[in-house]
Amino acid sequence: MQSTVQGFRRAAPSDIDRLMEIRGAVRENRLSNPLSVTRADYDRFVGEGRVWVSEIGNTIVGFSASDEHDGSIWALFVDPAHQRAGIGPALLGKACLDLKIDGYKSVRLTTQGGTVAENLYRRLGWADVGISDSGEVKFELRF
Protein backbone atom coordinates (compact mmCIF):
# COMPACT_ATOMS: atom_id res chain seq x y z
CA MET A 1 0.00 0.00 0.00
CA GLN A 2 1.23 3.48 -0.79
CA SER A 3 1.40 5.59 2.34
CA THR A 4 1.93 9.31 2.63
CA VAL A 5 3.17 10.09 6.10
CA GLN A 6 1.88 13.43 7.18
CA GLY A 7 3.84 13.79 10.35
CA PHE A 8 5.63 12.54 13.40
CA ARG A 9 4.92 13.57 16.95
CA ARG A 10 5.35 12.40 20.52
CA ALA A 11 2.66 10.01 21.68
CA ALA A 12 0.00 11.12 24.13
CA PRO A 13 -1.77 8.94 26.69
CA SER A 14 -4.87 8.97 24.45
CA ASP A 15 -2.79 7.15 21.77
CA ILE A 16 -2.01 4.08 23.87
CA ASP A 17 -4.97 1.98 22.70
CA ARG A 18 -3.87 2.47 19.08
CA LEU A 19 -0.25 1.64 19.93
CA MET A 20 -1.37 -1.59 21.56
CA GLU A 21 -3.56 -2.35 18.54
CA ILE A 22 -0.62 -1.95 16.16
CA ARG A 23 1.63 -4.07 18.42
CA GLY A 24 -0.99 -6.82 18.41
CA ALA A 25 -1.45 -6.71 14.64
CA VAL A 26 2.13 -7.35 13.57
CA ARG A 27 2.90 -10.56 11.71
CA GLU A 28 6.52 -10.87 12.87
CA ASN A 29 8.10 -10.40 16.28
CA ARG A 30 4.85 -11.34 17.96
CA LEU A 31 4.93 -11.61 21.73
CA SER A 32 5.16 -15.21 22.89
CA ASN A 33 3.33 -14.02 26.00
CA PRO A 34 1.02 -11.08 25.19
CA LEU A 35 0.80 -10.29 28.91
CA SER A 36 4.55 -9.62 29.08
CA VAL A 37 4.03 -6.09 27.75
CA THR A 38 1.38 -4.32 29.80
CA ARG A 39 -0.52 -1.08 29.57
CA ALA A 40 1.65 0.12 32.45
CA ASP A 41 4.68 -0.31 30.17
CA TYR A 42 3.05 1.91 27.55
CA ASP A 43 2.03 4.39 30.26
CA ARG A 44 5.64 4.63 31.42
CA PHE A 45 7.19 5.15 27.99
CA VAL A 46 4.52 7.60 26.85
CA GLY A 47 4.65 9.42 30.19
CA GLU A 48 8.43 9.78 29.92
CA GLY A 49 8.06 11.22 26.41
CA ARG A 50 9.90 8.31 24.83
CA VAL A 51 7.36 7.28 22.17
CA TRP A 52 7.21 8.68 18.65
CA VAL A 53 4.20 8.08 16.39
CA SER A 54 3.79 8.41 12.66
CA GLU A 55 0.46 9.53 11.28
CA ILE A 56 -1.34 9.43 7.98
CA GLY A 57 -4.30 11.75 8.22
CA ASN A 58 -5.44 11.39 11.80
CA THR A 59 -4.48 7.72 12.03
CA ILE A 60 -1.38 6.47 13.80
CA VAL A 61 0.36 3.97 11.50
CA GLY A 62 3.50 3.23 13.47
CA PHE A 63 5.47 3.96 16.61
CA SER A 64 8.90 3.69 18.15
CA ALA A 65 10.14 3.98 21.71
CA SER A 66 13.55 4.27 23.30
CA ASP A 67 14.51 3.38 26.84
CA GLU A 68 16.63 6.12 28.40
CA HIS A 69 17.44 3.84 31.35
CA ASP A 70 19.44 1.29 29.34
CA GLY A 71 20.02 2.84 25.90
CA SER A 72 17.85 0.40 24.00
CA ILE A 73 15.03 0.54 21.51
CA TRP A 74 11.96 -0.72 23.34
CA ALA A 75 9.62 -0.74 20.36
CA LEU A 76 9.47 -0.26 16.61
CA PHE A 77 6.19 -1.32 15.02
CA VAL A 78 4.33 -0.32 11.88
CA ASP A 79 0.76 -1.24 11.03
CA PRO A 80 1.04 -4.13 8.52
CA ALA A 81 -1.08 -2.16 6.02
CA HIS A 82 1.63 0.53 5.91
CA GLN A 83 4.85 -1.48 5.95
CA ARG A 84 7.60 -0.97 3.38
CA ALA A 85 6.80 2.72 2.98
CA GLY A 86 9.83 4.06 4.90
CA ILE A 87 7.92 4.61 8.13
CA GLY A 88 9.96 2.16 10.21
CA PRO A 89 13.38 3.62 9.40
CA ALA A 90 12.13 7.16 10.05
CA LEU A 91 10.65 6.19 13.42
CA LEU A 92 13.79 4.26 14.34
CA GLY A 93 15.90 7.31 13.54
CA LYS A 94 13.84 9.45 15.90
CA ALA A 95 14.18 6.96 18.76
CA CYS A 96 17.93 6.65 18.16
CA LEU A 97 18.36 10.42 18.12
CA ASP A 98 16.65 10.64 21.51
CA LEU A 99 19.23 8.21 22.92
CA LYS A 100 22.09 10.06 21.27
CA ILE A 101 20.84 13.30 22.86
CA ASP A 102 20.72 11.41 26.18
CA GLY A 103 24.47 10.84 25.79
CA TYR A 104 24.56 7.25 24.62
CA LYS A 105 27.35 6.35 22.18
CA SER A 106 25.53 3.28 20.94
CA VAL A 107 22.03 1.83 20.86
CA ARG A 108 20.89 -1.77 21.31
CA LEU A 109 17.87 -3.81 20.31
CA THR A 110 16.83 -7.40 19.72
CA THR A 111 14.61 -8.99 17.10
CA GLN A 112 13.62 -12.43 15.91
CA GLY A 113 15.92 -13.92 13.29
CA GLY A 114 14.77 -14.43 9.72
CA THR A 115 12.39 -11.45 9.79
CA VAL A 116 11.90 -8.30 7.74
CA ALA A 117 13.06 -6.40 10.84
CA GLU A 118 16.35 -8.31 10.97
CA ASN A 119 16.99 -7.46 7.31
CA LEU A 120 16.08 -3.82 7.93
CA TYR A 121 18.58 -3.44 10.78
CA ARG A 122 21.34 -5.04 8.74
CA ARG A 123 20.56 -2.78 5.77
CA LEU A 124 20.68 0.29 8.04
CA GLY A 125 24.15 -0.64 9.30
CA TRP A 126 23.36 -2.19 12.66
CA ALA A 127 25.95 -4.76 13.80
CA ASP A 128 24.89 -8.27 14.77
CA VAL A 129 26.45 -8.76 18.23
CA GLY A 130 25.10 -12.19 19.14
CA ILE A 131 22.03 -14.04 20.30
CA SER A 132 20.01 -13.12 23.39
CA ASP A 133 19.05 -15.61 26.09
CA SER A 134 15.59 -15.77 24.48
CA GLY A 135 17.10 -16.65 21.08
CA GLU A 136 16.68 -13.26 19.41
CA VAL A 137 19.37 -11.56 17.33
CA LYS A 138 21.09 -8.76 19.25
CA PHE A 139 21.98 -5.64 17.31
CA GLU A 140 23.98 -2.55 18.14
CA LEU A 141 24.41 0.75 16.35
CA ARG A 142 27.31 3.02 17.29
CA PHE A 143 27.06 6.79 16.80
- pLDDT reported for residue 84: 83
* CA–CA gap between residue 134 and residue 57 (Å, rounded): 38
* Residues in the chain with pLDDT values less than 50: 1
- pLDDT reported for residue 4: 58
- pLDDT reported for residue 26: 79
- pLDDT reported for residue 28: 76
- pLDDT reported for residue 1: 47
**Nearest-5° angle of CA 129, CA 135, CA 138?**
25
* CA–CA gap between residue 125 and residue 62 (Å, rounded): 21
CB contact set of 121 (below 8 Å; sequence gap of 6+):
109, 111, 139
**DSSP characters over 96-143:** HHHHHHTT-SEEEEEE-TTSHHHHHHHHTTPEEEEE-TTSPEEEEEE-
**Does the global pTM surpass 0.75?**
yes
